[in-house]
Amino acid sequence: HKRIVVIGAGIVGCSIAYYLSKMGQRNITVIEQGPLFETGGSTSHAPGLVFQLSFSKVLTTLASQTVETFKELSTDEQRSFYPVGSLEVARTPERLEDLKRKAGVASSWGIEALLLSPQECAEKNSLICPDRICGGLYVPSDGIAKPLHAVDKMTRFSKECGVEFYGHTEVTNIEVTNGQVKAVYTSAGKFEADVIVCCAGFWGPRIGEMVGVTIPLQPMAHQYVFTNDLLELNGETEEVATPLIRDQDNAIYFRQVDKGLGIGSYQHEPFPIELSDITKYGETKEMPSVKPFTPKDFEKPWEDALELIPALKQPGIKKGMNGIFSFTPDGMPLLGESQAVGGFWVAEAIWVTHSAGVARQMAEWLMNGAPTVDLELCDINRFDTYACSPVYYKQRSIEEYEEVYSIHHPFMQRKVSRNMRVSPFYMRQQELKAYFNEKAGWEQPQWYEANYPLISTYEKKMVIRKGWSAEYWSPIIEAEQLHTRQYAAIYDTTAAKKRLEIKGEGALQFLQKLTTGNIDITVGQSIRTCMLHERGGIKDQIMVIRKNISTFLIVCTGAVEASWIQKHVPQNGQVVFQDVTSGTCSIALIGPKATGVMKSVVQCSELSSTWIEGQAKTLFIEKSSVLALRDSYGGMESWELITTSDQGLNLWDVLIEQGQPYQLIAAGDRALENLRIESFSLKSGKDFWSEHHPYEVNLHEMVDLTKPVFIGKEALLDRQRKDSETVLATLILDDPSAIVMGYEPVFYGETALGFVTSAGYSYSLGKGIVHTLLSQAVHEEMVLEVEYFGQRYKATMMTHSPAVV
Ligand code: FAD
């Protein structure tokens, strides 16, 4: 057994020790600086509201698993969970619409949720004044968690399995040798360790500093008050019997606490807490996770609370606090083993709501090599270097706090910490009045206002968008898409993927082990293949280009996948890994005239007829040395052109200039995405992820079972033998004016079969097109329906790719 040291005995640390013990792991030590188990961390005073449902599938799953665990641990004598249900009320018509959308994802993720009228809300929780609301969403399985009760049950079990808990013991340093953790130094001596799991809550960044790993979280104070007893709750005998209430329009939430209420508010100005201002247990009278209450900041939330719950007028506030917990730049937890230091695992920025679910997944990850739930969006390695700057993650985390209860549009812009990374084409894109969005820190053009005149050319074919789908949208997107289909466009794909160079005498052997395809291709060829994790799920779909006998360029999805590849690089000196993303840029030249443009910028001899699809050559495009790959995109001729960042501007200018006779334009990412969807092309991380294996999502051709070994092969064969739980289907919406956005549920009669992963519009069919993941096979005769904002739209399965116009 590996020696595992868990730092922190809050809900997260204790849940991880519990799940590891349940899975048979021994040799676990938990070290806590405060007393056991009311440690003074965030868990000690967490009000424990559990709203499971969110637009994020992974967070919803983690929350549901937490509820499951807390229910299992709950007894009549000691309740770990009160399943009293929750009500999210809408104070505005916009919020009510958003709740309809949320009811849709509830069906997508398999959670029961009911839209209620104002009166029905008041029937569920009689404290609510129905005149103040437009309606609400009721989730019967939500409730109140009692994390300290759960901790008590879990730690009793863990202790029986031999887990040792040390209270009043502070971790002061960590020993790392050759990039691998070795031991933890504490106020009570040294503990040898093969694996450290950092569950130190908002102290996490300090522990990270001990091993040189950035843990990009920002501690923030958040207001929570207790009221005096309400007459209306006089007869209550349970600590909590009434449904929780969330009033997101006013950024407040409510729970019953015996005969009074607990009220939390996100309304105030954010209070970021500096690491230097965080105390240790015993240093101050209050717990380290509590800052003094600032009553002035609660005046407005209190007024709003009185409006929704008039019964609050009489009792008034008993006491309040500004309690500290963690925020991250994207609102997601930080999980997994750090790429930089072997054996240093992190489970940070986790709400009580997701705690036990996270613990279960972390234990699986540690013991089996991969979790069953895809945790890519929570992976600690998802940030590139830029995002590890404290300025960046502080600003973004504050923005997260401010927006925590806002209505989030999928294409909503981030306001702060922009222009972190720009491609060499940025200057030209600004001249073309690009509308930028951020992707992995890069400013990525979504469309170009300079293409506005194209609208009149394509207007007749375009669909009229209204409401939600017309927000953060421009008809220019459609014009760019249609223009690409007719002529050609260049797309800046610098931000779309990561580019890695793998070289050395062991490079081929390494890539053969890493991927499911045969990488022993001829020099200049490329191959699309999969990487599987240890349990046979798809870690990523990647492209490999063999540049010379022992040098390969890998194009993978993002930082998580890149760090996964790096982690597997053998340490025998025979393989060199280099992330060349920031030093390179890439352009996709797409459309029926793309090869015409290429002919005018490269020597004709280079463009001989023997240059087949999938082949790459290094050549000059005027002054720029470019790796050019002949490809196809959306059923059209396309070229992927990669060069170094210093030469990118040259390349762009030459293409634009020489492309004039071909009506070449620069077009944005939104058109590119729609071209992908309308041509039935799937995207790793969007249409399938590590929970799926290649046979489930029609990637059979990317697996070469004749290869003796590759990571995940045994598990894949095993999974292939079992019945698949998922099918991927492409549907067409019957109503030509119907447009959906993604994550909507797909119904067959009253049964939700699954949900939409990617949504676009096919101009050849004149209809909306969606990729879906379903729990059972469907066929063309079945009448399926996609639900969008509470409305059902008929949909038909497509068996073949539509002919593209
Ligand atoms: P903690 O409970 O803080 O545990 C971390 C532990 O690590 C601490 O005990 C600390 O002492 C220990 N530690 C740190 N450094 C060291 C060291 N060097 N050596 C040894 N030990 C160390 N979540 C919800 O889901 N629902 C809610 O309704 C909710 N409401 C909240 C309201 C308020 C006012 C606050 C403050 C938080 C709320 N949260 C809520 C968030 C939730 O409480 C936290 O996210 C959660 O408790 C974090 O658990 P944890 O185990 O990660 O951290």
The atom of ligand 1 lying closest to the CA of 325 is 36
Q: Which of 598, 507, 495 is nearest to 555 (CA)?
A: 495
Residue 224 near ligand 1, beta carbon < 6 Å = yes
Residue 208 near ligand 1, beta carbon < 6 Å = no
Ligand 1 center to 325 CA (angstroms)? 6
For residues 141 and 44, state if they share a domain. yes
Ligand 1 center to 165 CA (angstroms)? 17
pLDDT on residue 804: 41
> pLDDT over 90 for what percent of the chain?
92
pLDDT of 744 > 90? The answer is yes
Q: If pLDDT is split at 50, 70 and 90, which confidence band does 801 have?
A: low
Beta strands in 128-240 (DSSP E): 135-139, 143-145, 164-166, 171-177, 180-186, 189-192, 195-198, 218-227
What is the rounded CA–CA span in Å between residue 738 and residue 241? Answer: 43
Q: If pLDDT is split at 50, 70 and 90, which confidence band does 629 have?
A: very high
Q: Which of 112, 104, 140 is nearest to 124 (CA)?
A: 140
What is the rounded CA–CA span in Å between residue 100 and residue 325? Answer: 30
Per-residue pLDDT tens over the stretch 311-330: 999 999 999 999 999 999 99
Domain housing 454: 420-495+583-608+615-681
Q: Which residues contact 527 (CB under 8 A, 6 or more apart)?
A: 517, 518, 519, 521, 543, 544, 614
Q: Which of 88, 164, 203 to mutate to test the pocket of ligand 1 (most atoms within 8 A of CB)?
A: 203
Q: Which of 17, 41, 37, 34 is nearest to 159 (CA)?
A: 17
Q: Which of 352, 355, 401 to mutate to test the pocket of ligand 1 (most atoms within 8 A of CB)?
A: 352
Ligand 1 center to 100 CA (angstroms)? 32
Ligand 1 center to 42 CA (angstroms)? 3
The atom of ligand 1 lying closest to the CA of 186 is 19
pLDDT on residue 372: 96
User: If DSSP codes are grouped into helix, strand and coil, which group holds residue 515?
Assistant: strand
pLDDT of 494 > 60? The answer is yes
Ligand 1 center to 200 CA (angstroms)? 8
Residue 142 near ligand 1, beta carbon < 6 Å = no
364 in Cβ contact with 20 (< 8 Å)? no
Least-confidence region, from 51-55, 541-545, 762-766: 762-766
For residues 540 and 472, state if they share a domain. no
To which H or E segment does residue 747 belong?
strand 745-748
Compute and round to an integer the Cα radius of gyration of the chain. Answer: 28
Residue 334 near ligand 1, beta carbon < 6 Å = no
Least-confidence region, from 376-380, 587-591, 661-665, 693-697: 693-697
Residue 41 near ligand 1, beta carbon < 6 Å = yes
Residue 354 near ligand 1, beta carbon < 6 Å = no
Per-residue pLDDT tens over the stretch 708-732: 999 999 999 999 888 777 899 999 9
**Torsional sign, CA 294, 300, 301, 307:** positive
Q: Which of 19, 297, 351, 400 to mutate to test the pocket of ligand 1 (most atoms within 8 A of CB)?
A: 351
Tracing tokens 């590139």 back to the chain, one arrives at 384
- How far from 312 is each of 127, 654, 683, CA to CA, in Å? 9, 69, 51
Ligand 1 center to 326 CA (angstroms)? 8
* Prior bond of 383 cis (ω within 30°): no
What is the rounded CA–CA span in Å between residue 216 and residue 569? Answer: 26
For residues 440 and 309, state if they share a domain. no
Q: Please, which residues bridge with residue 748 across strands?
A: 751, 784
Q: Is residue 589, in this structure, part of any structural domain at all?
A: yes
pLDDT of 802 > 60? The answer is no
- Three-state SS annotation for 641-677: EEEEHHHHHHHHHHHHHHCHHHCCEECCHHHHHHHHH
Ligand 1 center to 199 CA (angstroms)? 9
Ligand 1 center to 439 CA (angstroms)? 30
Mean pLDDT of the chain: 95
Residue 42 near ligand 1, beta carbon < 6 Å = yes
For residues 667 and 776, state if they share a domain. no
For residues 526 and 574, state if they share a domain. yes
Residue 201 near ligand 1, beta carbon < 6 Å = yes
What is the rounded CA–CA span in Å between residue 122 and residue 748? Answer: 33
Q: Please, which residues bridge with residue 290 across strands?
A: 323
Ligand 1 center to 90 CA (angstroms)? 30
pLDDT of 101 > 90? The answer is yes
Residue 200 near ligand 1, beta carbon < 6 Å = yes
31 in Cβ contact with 191 (< 8 Å)? yes
pLDDT on residue 714: 96
Residue 316 phi, psi (nearest 5): 75, 180
Residue 353 near ligand 1, beta carbon < 6 Å = yes
Residue 7 near ligand 1, beta carbon < 6 Å = yes
Q: Which of 743, 761, 747, 687 is nearest to 101 (CA)?
A: 743
Q: Is residue 407, in this structure, part of any structural domain at all?
A: no
Ligand 1 center to 572 CA (angstroms)? 41
Ligand 1 center to 8 CA (angstroms)? 9
783 in Cβ contact with 743 (< 8 Å)? no
Residue 219 near ligand 1, beta carbon < 6 Å = no
Per-residue pLDDT tens over the stretch 597-612: 999 999 878 888 889 9
What is the rounded CA–CA span in Å between residue 278 and residue 263? Answer: 24
Last residue of a domain, which of 327, 349, 378? 327
Q: Which of 683, 783, 696 is nearest to 731 (CA)?
A: 783
What is the rounded CA–CA span in Å between residue 69 and residue 16? Answer: 12
The conformation of residue 88, written as its DSSP 8-state character, comes to: E
Q: Which residue's alpha carbon is at the smallest distance from atom 47 of ligand 1?
A: 43
Task: Sort strands 28-31 and 4-7 into parallel, antiparallel or unpaired.
Answer: parallel
pLDDT of 274 > 80? The answer is yes
Residue 666 near ligand 1, beta carbon < 6 Å = no
Q: Which of 172, 187, 207, 325 to mutate to test the pocket of ligand 1 (most atoms within 8 A of CB)?
A: 325
For residues 97 and 116, state if they share a domain. yes
Q: Is residue 378, in this structure, part of any structural domain at all?
A: no
Residue 6 near ligand 1, beta carbon < 6 Å = no
Please compute the mean of the pLDDT values over residues 230-250 and round it to a whole number: 95
To which H or E segment does residue 152 belong?
helix 147-160
Q: Is residue 743, in this structure, part of any structural domain at all?
A: yes
Ligand 1 center to 159 CA (angstroms)? 21
pLDDT of 803 > 50? The answer is no
Ligand 1 center to 290 CA (angstroms)? 11
Least-confidence region, from 132-136, 231-235, 602-606: 602-606
Q: Which of 581, 579, 601 is nearest to 589 (CA)?
A: 601
Residue 170 near ligand 1, beta carbon < 6 Å = yes
For residues 556 and 673, state if they share a domain. no
Ligand 1 center to 347 CA (angstroms)? 11
Q: Is residue 437, in this structure, part of any structural domain at all?
A: yes
Q: Is residue 363, in this structure, part of any structural domain at all?
A: no
Residue 86 near ligand 1, beta carbon < 6 Å = no
Q: Which residues contact 751 (CB under 8 A, 6 or more apart)?
A: none
Q: Compute the CA torsion angle 787, 790, 791, 792 (nearest 10 deg).
A: 30
For residues 570 and 589, state if they share a domain. no
Residue 557 near ligand 1, beta carbon < 6 Å = no
User: If DSSP codes are grouped into helix, strand and coil, which group holds residue 728?
Assistant: strand
Within 13 Å of residue 271, how many CA atoms lie on the same side as its CB?
A: 20
Last residue of a domain, which of 627, 657, 681? 681
Q: Is residue 715, in this structure, part of any structural domain at all?
A: no
Least-confidence region, from 157-161, 211-215, 231-235, 798-802: 798-802
The atom of ligand 1 lying closest to the CA of 280 is 11
Residue 54 near ligand 1, beta carbon < 6 Å = no
Please compute the mean of the pLDDT values over residues 134-159 and round it to a whole number: 98
Q: Is residue 232, in this structure, part of any structural domain at all?
A: yes
pLDDT on residue 1: 83
Q: Which of 16, 43, 291 to mutate to test the pocket of ligand 1 (most atoms within 8 A of CB)?
A: 43
- CA 51 to mean position of chain CA atoms: 18
CATH number at residue 565: 3.30.70.1400
Ligand 1 center to 26 CA (angstroms)? 25
pLDDT on residue 634: 84
Residue 416 amino acid letter: V
Residue 46 near ligand 1, beta carbon < 6 Å = yes
CATH number at residue 596: 3.30.1360.120
For residues 491 and 502, state if they share a domain. no
Last residue of a domain, which of 279, 305, 327? 327
Q: What per-residue string of b and e applies to 697-731 under the rule 16 or more CB within 10 Å gives b?
A: bebeebbeeebeebbbbebbeebbeeeeeebbbbb
What is the rounded CA–CA span in Å between residue 589 and residue 604? Answer: 17
pLDDT on residue 195: 98
Residue 469 near ligand 1, beta carbon < 6 Å = no
For residues 146 and 189, state if they share a domain. yes
Measured between its terminal Cα atoms, the distance across the chain in Å is: 60
Ligand 1 center to 247 CA (angstroms)? 24
For residues 45 and 71, state if they share a domain. yes
CATH number at residue 793: 2.40.30.110
pLDDT of 782 > 60? The answer is yes
For residues 28 and 94, state if they share a domain. yes
The atom of ligand 1 lying closest to the CA of 169 is 20
pLDDT of 27 > 70? The answer is yes
Number of domains in the chain: 4
Q: If pLDDT is split at 50, 70 and 90, which confidence band does 800 have?
A: low
pLDDT of 265 > 90? The answer is yes
Beta strands in 557-691 (DSSP E): 576-579, 584-590, 616-621, 624-633, 636-644, 665-666
Ligand 1 center to 545 CA (angstroms)? 46
CATH number at residue 292: 3.30.9.10
